[in-house]
Structure 1
């Protein structure tokens, strides 16, 4: 399971791939439609799609001459279960933490 989680998180680490997943939440899309909003080549988008497919986050199928992409939401289940394990910790209040650091390290606060 660790290798599968690594693959999923590696795929999710890229902003372009996360945007593609968000687009596919709406509906299945042709590869050319997926590529349209991005300022990169179709070949570059295809590489992103291959990473998402390898992670099991999407599937691709050919319908006629058009290749379609479909979101596979169950692929995120293991990652979601793993992340929920961290729900036992209190949420970090970044504003309070920043104030604490400013008090403890006042000479550093001026440098930021």
Structure 2
């Protein structure tokens, strides 16, 4: 992560990770974090605003589709586990971009 980078985070959570990421991207960069749960999105927006964190856009949507309106992204960081990489993430990644994903190689057995 470098100053000026544009980052897409899949899975907004509390907004804390987006705040850390935007700190790394600096004032010229920015973070878009997306989640499909409206309560999570509302709470992340509220927490980021309360902490006066700028340059973060919290979006309600299906993270598997990425966020084409903000593409291309220098970094895409998934905070959700996946079994495969959605094509949308690859097409929205800038040339030389990096994708960070906690991928499951095979299903776990209990």
TM-score (norm 1): 0.25
TM-score (norm 2): 0.25
More strand by share: 2
More helix by share: 1
Answer with 1 or 2: which has the greater Rg.
1
